[in-house]
Structure 1
Amino acid sequence: MYYTFLLIGLSLLVYVLHKLDDILLPLFFAALLSTLLLPLVTRLEKLRWPRVLAILMALLLLIGGIVGLFVVFGSQLMDLKAELPLIQKKLMVMFDQSQQWLHDRFGMRVMSKDEIIDSSLNSAKKSAGGFLGSTLSTTAGVLSVLTLVPIYIFCFLYYRDHMRQFMFRFVAPEKRTSVLHTMDNIQAVVQAYISGLLMVIVIVAILNGIGLLVLGVKFAIFFAIFASVLAVIPFIGILVGATIPALITLVETGSPGKAAAVIGVFVFVQFLEGNFITPMITGSKVSINPMAAIVALILGGELWGTPGMILSIPLVAVLKVVFDSSKSTEPWGFLLGDVSEGEDTPKTKLNTNPGLWGKFWHMVKRI
Structure 2
Amino acid sequence: MNSGDNNKFLNIVAGLFLAGFSVYVLKELSSILIPFVMAIFIAFAFQPFYNLMLKKKIPSFLAITVILLIIIIIANIAGVFIVTGANSFADNFKLYEEKLIGIFNSVIISLDLSAEEASNFYNSLKISNLLKNESVTNFITGILTGFAGVFGDFILILFYVIFILSEFTSIKERVSRAFSKEKADKVSFTLDKIFEDVRTYITWKIILSLILGVLSGLVLFLFGSDFYFLWGFLIFLMHFIPSIGALIAIAFPSITMFLQFDNIFTPLIATIILIVLQNVIGNIIEPKVLGDNLNLSPLLLLLSLFMGGYIWGIIGMILSVPIVSIIKIIIKNFDSSKNIAILMSYKEEIIIENQTKN
1:314-337: CA deviations, max 9, x gaps?
Answer: 211210111210122213223334
Q: C-alpha deviations, 1:22-52, integer Å up to 9, x for none?
A: 2222222222222222222222122222211
Paired residues of 2:201 and 2:293 also in contact (CA < 8 A): yes
2:37 match: 28
1:354-365 equivalences in 2 (<5 Å): none
CA offset digits 1:335-354 (Å, max 9, x no partner): 33453862999xxxxxxxxx
The answer to whether residue 49 in structure 2 is matched with residue 50 in structure 1 is: no
> Following the alignment from structure 2 to structure 1, what is the Cα–Cα distance between the partners of residues 18 and 179?
23
Quick one: which amino acid aligns to residue 43 of structure 1? L
The equivalent residue for 2:293 is 286
Distance 2:227 2:315 in 1: 26
Aligned residues: 333
**Alignment correspondent of 2:227:** 219
SS at match of 1:202: helix
Residue of structure 1 aligned with 2:14, choices 1, 5, 8: 5
Aligned with residue 298 of structure 1, among 299, 306, 310: 306
Cα contact 2:175–2:188 (8 A) shared by 1: no
Alpha-carbon separation, structure 1, partners of 2:121 and 2:244: 32
CA RMSD of aligned residues (A): 3.7
Unpaired stretches in structure 2, ≥5 consecutive residues = 1-6, 135-140, 354-358
Instruction: Give the alignment partner of residue 80 of structure 2, picking from 54, 66, 71.
Output: 71
Instruction: Evaluate the alpha carbon distance shift between residue 63 and residue 8 of structure 1 in structure 2; reply closer, same or farther with a 3 A threshold.
Output: same
Q: Could you tell me which residue of structure 1 aligns to residue 137 of structure 2?
A: none
Q: 2:253 aligns with which of 245, 248, 255?
A: 245
- Partners of 1:340 and 1:200 lie apart in 2 by 25
CA distance in 2, matches of 1:306, 1:213: 26
Q: 1:363 corresponds to which residue?
A: none
How far residue 227 of structure 1 moved from its aligned partner, in angstroms, is: 2.0
**Aligned equivalents of 2:317, 2:200: Cα separation in 1:** 21
Range 20-29 or range 48-57, more displaced: 20-29
1:189 match: 197
Per-residue deviation, 1:118: 9.8
Matched, 1:276 2:288: no
Deviation for aligned residue 1:159 = 4.2
Q: Secondary structure at the match of 1:49?
A: coil
**Distance change >3 Å, CA 67–CA 203, structure 1 → 2:** same
8 Å contact 1:233–1:294 — kept in the other structure?
Answer: no
Q: 5 Å matches for 1:161-200?
A: 161-162=169-170, 174-200=182-208
Residues 282-329 of structure 1 deviation map (CA, whole Å, 9 limit, x = unaligned) = 23x622437133332221111111222232122112101112101222
Note the C-alpha offset of 1:196.
0.3
Does residue 89 (structure 1) correspond to residue 92 (structure 2)? The answer is: no
2 CA distance for matches of 1:269 and 1:248? 19
Greater Cα shift, 243-252 or 257-266: 257-266
Q: Aligned residue for 1:364?
A: none
Q: Are 2:315 and 1:320 equivalent residues in the alignment?
A: no
Pair 277,290 (structure 1): closer, same or farther in 2 beyond 3 Å: farther
Is residue 2:50 matched to residue 1:41?
yes
TM-score when scaled to structure 2? 0.78
Deviation of 1:190 after TM superposition, in Å, equals 0.8
| 1:355 corresponds to | none
Report how far residue 140 of structure 1 moved.
8.4
Does structure 2 retain, via aligned residues, the 8 Å contact 1:242–1:262?
no
State the shift of 1:193 in Å. 0.8
Structure 2 distance, partners of 1:143, 1:229, is 15
Q: 1:338 to 1:183 in 2, by over 3 A?
A: same
Change (3 A) 1:343 1:151: closer
CA pair 223-160 structure 1, distance change in 2 beyond 3 A: closer
CA distance, structure 2, for counterparts of residue 107 and residue 74 of structure 1: 42
Q: TM-score, normalised by structure 1?
A: 0.77
- CA distance, structure 1, for counterparts of residue 266 and residue 18 of structure 2: 54
Aligned AA (1:65): I
Aligned twin of 2:356: none
Secondary structure at the residue paired with 1:305?
helix
Contact preservation (8 Å) 1:200, 1:281: no
